[in-house]
Amino acid sequence: MPCFSCWKLDTQPIVRPMVFRKDTRTMLSRKELFKDTLKKAAHAWKRIVELRLTGPEDAQHKPQAFSTIYLFYVGGSKLAEAGMFVPAIKGQGTEEQQKKWLPMAYKFQIIGCYAQTELGHGSNVQGLETTATFDPSTDEFVMHSPTLTSSKWWPGGLGKASTHAVVYARLITEGKDYGIHGFIVQLRSLDDHSPLPGITLGDIGGKFGSGAYNSMDNGVLRFDHVRIPRDQMLMRLSQVTREGKYVHSDVPKQLLYGTMVYVRQTIVADASKALSRAVCIAVRYSAIRKQFGSQAGGPETQVLNYKTQQSRLFPLLASAYAYRFVGQWLKWLYTDVTQKLEAKDYSTLPEAHACTAGLKSVTTSATADAIEECRKLCGGHGYLNSSGLPELFAVYVPACTYEGDNVVLLLQVARFLMKTVAQVATGKQPVGTIAYMGNIQHLMQCKSAVNTAEDWLNPAAIKEVFEARALRMAVNCAQNISKVPSQEEGFSELSPDLLEAAVAHVQLIIVTKFIEKLQEDIPGPGVKEQLQKLCSIYALHLLHKHLGDFLSTGCVTARQGALANEQLGKLYAQVRPNAVALVDAFDYTDHYLGSVLGRYDGDVYPALYEEAWKDPLNETVVPDGYQEHLRPLLKQQLKLSRL
Ligand SMILES: Cc1cc2nc3c(=O)[nH]c(=O)nc-3n(C[C@H](O)[C@H](O)[C@H](O)COP(=O)(O)OP(=O)(O)OC[C@H]3O[C@@H](n4cnc5c(N)ncnc54)[C@H](O)[C@@H]3O)c2cc1C
């Protein structure tokens, strides 16, 4: 039974404990915020144990209930990057290592972080400098940070909370450098949490925004010849023997792809959550906010009725749904990849890698931009912390950088596309999300048959132009690279164009998965119809935004581009009556949204007014500093120095 003395009624009929309150988070100092996050996480875990929700574990993480409760109640607050510590051990640890370490991590007996990035190197993992040198005389690795730039820098949870880390370091044995490998290293005492001898640890300092990622102790770590047992090297893919011999195991290194697909799938799903949250706030508030248009003293116009507001907001609403469906499909892809790995079929892995890298990049970049757009769509009030949007933006935006910088990832996609174009030229049939490239004869010369604005509602017409645009951009790049004597030089010279080709390919994947989703049964009267409109909006707004690509590759004429825009306008008008219902369908509680503007009951102004008084600046009527600074100024008692 819950302890009712500490539970309080929400504006909606649910009970939640006061410990999970988050309305003051942006006003807390860094120290208070961090402590508050520890409190929330510990309480969430306590309740999970009390309510016996500890199973089943999902594929890679803590028990599923923890992820869910954490997301809904702890929300933007973060505690440690357990999300990567566990998958790293699952993916790279032997069965024995998994048996030893994972139960402790699942039960929070240890807290782990993922320590890869260094002060001097992030994207270029091969450039990492931390060393792990094997000492056969003691059967240990010696972990060392030889330079300032080799300091581990950024790992989430490292600064203050973690007791352990998976540390990536150059493995050196028998005098030879075998490159980057993972090691489980205990960082702090399990008795008093102090750093172990030879280990320097700290937080790297405040980050962008109030609240947000500042609840996370991203940290710095240095080793001074720290010894760890040999069996703490993650040894699934390669081992160091007792004598110090480096040996590859017979486990193929492609197994790592499974973990990577899993992690990226969660990032895409998170993009949909963050975007739908921002859109929910902006749509609800736009239905409440009124400006101008009053006739004869009547009510002003809801800003949601302005065509400009719709043309900025509804594509974001459509994107939130699009990312949800592509995220669901990625879940399926993960299962498919796992089954193929078990059957030792590695043929589709490069495609799965490119596809997940591209989707991570495109969905996170678009979501970060969209949250900021939602802030602007809420006018001045959107800039207040109480709107929930500044913190959402600040906490979300690093998703464009962590787990692979978005540009670096798109360049990997582009490399894969160039390889595929070359293979298609030799007659090889591509599979999965690049299967369309096999239709090269048709796609290189087809012209859209669209003749009226309504023709753009046909999914086949949409798919054809998106496929033709993506393929032609990739082929153009490949042709231009081939004109440069060195392929590498050509790739580097053309990298801005390659990025655009990669984006076109990824947008095609999202559009296709949305269209495919709508070929399934969708329960609920009229729901499918609404989703079809959103699917058309998603595709046509991309066509409108990237019209230059479609025109320059010759798959769409200027007239057809104008027809697409005309159809978009009609779709916006059709979506308008259901816009609020379409965001209510996300089913977010007020507590989860954390926004006075996005309140379910629409009672925005009293909430805004009340929220302002909670600011610490309003604790006194006359501000601190009045006597020392403001009064002398007002009384003209300042000692002016002679000019
Ligand atoms: C909030 C947050 C949490 C993090 N958590 C962790 C964690 O838990 N563990 C961990 O190990 N790390 C973590 N990181 C670090 C993160 O993984 C790295 O910041 C990320 O990999 C990018 O690397 P970088 O910082 O070296 O960027 P850089 O690679 O230095 O990027 C700088 C610029 O150079 C560009 N660039 C780089 N390479 C190329 C190229 N080949 N071609 C063209 N352009 C290029 C990039 O696009 C970018 O614009 C975190 C970072 C943040 C912000």
CB 472 within 8 A of CB 555: yes
Distance 372 CA to ligand 1 centre (A): 21
CB 406 within 8 A of CB 435: no
The answer to whether residue 78 scores a pLDDT higher than 70 is: no
Ligand 1 atom index nearest CA of 122: 26
Distance 493 CA to ligand 1 centre (A): 22
CB atoms within 10 A of CB 475: 21
The answer to whether residue 3 scores a pLDDT higher than 80 is: no
DSSP secondary structure of 502-525: HHHHHHHHHHHHHHHHTTS---ST
Confidence (pLDDT) at 65: 56
Q: Classify domain 262-426+455-581 by CATH number.
A: 1.20.140.10
Choosing from 372, 391, 403, 464, the catalytic residue is: 403
pLDDT digits (tens, 9 = 90+) for 445-465: 999 999 999 999 999 999 999
Provide φ and ψ at 66, rounded to 5°. -65, -50
Residue 30 tokens read as 């860094």
- Compute the 3-state secondary structure of the chain and give helix, strand, coil in percent, each to the nearest 5: 60, 10, 30
* CA angle (479 as vertex; 478, 480 as ends), nearest 5: 90
Higher pLDDT, 578 or 334: 578
Higher pLDDT, 249 or 627: 627
Q: Give the pairing of strands 164-173 and 131-135.
A: parallel
If residue 88 lies in a helix (H) or strand (E), which one and from where to where?
helix 82-92
* Residue 387 near ligand 1, beta carbon < 6 Å: no
pLDDT digits (tens, 9 = 90+) for 148-196: 999 999 999 999 999 999 999 999 999 999 999 999 999 999 999 999 9
Architecture of domain 112-250: Beta Barrel (2.40)
Percentage of the chain modeled with pLDDT above 90: 80
Least confident span in 34-48, 151-165, 584-598: 34-48
Active site residue 351: no
117: annotated binding-site residue?
yes
Q: HEC profile for 36-54?
A: HHHHHHHHHHHHHHHCCCC
Confidence (pLDDT) at 47: 81
Distance 402 CA to ligand 1 centre (A): 6
Q: What is the mean pLDDT of residues 563-572?
A: 98
* Residue 412 near ligand 1, beta carbon < 6 Å: no
In a 3-state reduction of DSSP, which class is residue 220?
Answer: strand
CA distances from 450 to 436, 457, 458, 540 (A): 20, 10, 9, 13
**What is residue 636's DSSP assignment?**
T
Helix 527-545 to helix 495-517 angle, to the nearest 10 degrees? 170
If residue 134 lies in a helix (H) or strand (E), which one and from where to where?
strand 131-135
Q: What is the mean pLDDT of residues 495-514?
A: 98
| Position 57 confidence tier, pLDDT thresholds 50, 70, 90 | low
- Domain segments of the chain as ranges: 18-78, 112-250, 262-426+455-581
Give the list of residues 6+ apart from residue 634 with CB closer than 8 angstroms, or none.
none
ipTM topping 0.90: yes
Residue 118 tokens read as 């260094």
Ligand 1 atom index nearest CA of 121: 26
pLDDT digits (tens, 9 = 90+) for 525-537: 999 999 999 999 9
Residue 492 tokens read as 């580097």
Distance 51 CA to ligand 1 centre (A): 40
The answer to whether residue 63 scores a pLDDT higher than 90 is: no
Residue 185 tokens read as 């290293």
Cβ density class 512-531: b for 16+ within 10 Å, e for less: bbbbebeeeeeeeeeebebb
Residue 309 tokens read as 């507001």
**In 546-637, where does DSSP find H-type helix?**
547-552, 558-575, 579-584, 590-593, 604-612, 631-634
Q: Give the pairing of strands 226-229 and 219-223.
A: unpaired
| Position 344 confidence tier, pLDDT thresholds 50, 70, 90 | confident
pLDDT digits (tens, 9 = 90+) for 460-499: 999 999 999 999 999 999 999 999 999 999 999 999 999 9
pLDDT digits (tens, 9 = 90+) for 429-448: 999 999 999 999 999 999 99
Distance CA 627, CA 639 (A): 15
Ligand 1 atom index nearest CA of 403: 17
Residue 120 tokens read as 């001097």
Confidence (pLDDT) at 88: 92
Confidence (pLDDT) at 69: 60
Residue 441 tokens read as 């004869």
CB 195 within 8 A of CB 201: yes
Confidence (pLDDT) at 106: 84
In a 3-state reduction of DSSP, which class is residue 112?
Answer: strand
**What is residue 158's DSSP assignment?**
T
- From the list 254, 436, 250, 251, the residue with the least C-alpha distance to 345 is 254
* CA angle (552 as vertex; 551, 553 as ends), nearest 5: 95
Confidence (pLDDT) at 367: 98
Q: What is the mean pLDDT of residues 225-236?
A: 97
DSSP secondary structure of 345-371: --TTHHHHHHHHHHHHHHHHHHHHHHH
205: annotated binding-site residue?
no
With 0-12 / 13-18 / 19 or more C-beta atoms within 10 angstroms meaning exposed / middle / buried, residue 344 is exposed
The answer to whether residue 292 scores a pLDDT higher than 90 is: yes
pTM of the predicted protein model: 0.93
CB 66 within 8 A of CB 48: yes
Confidence (pLDDT) at 641: 55
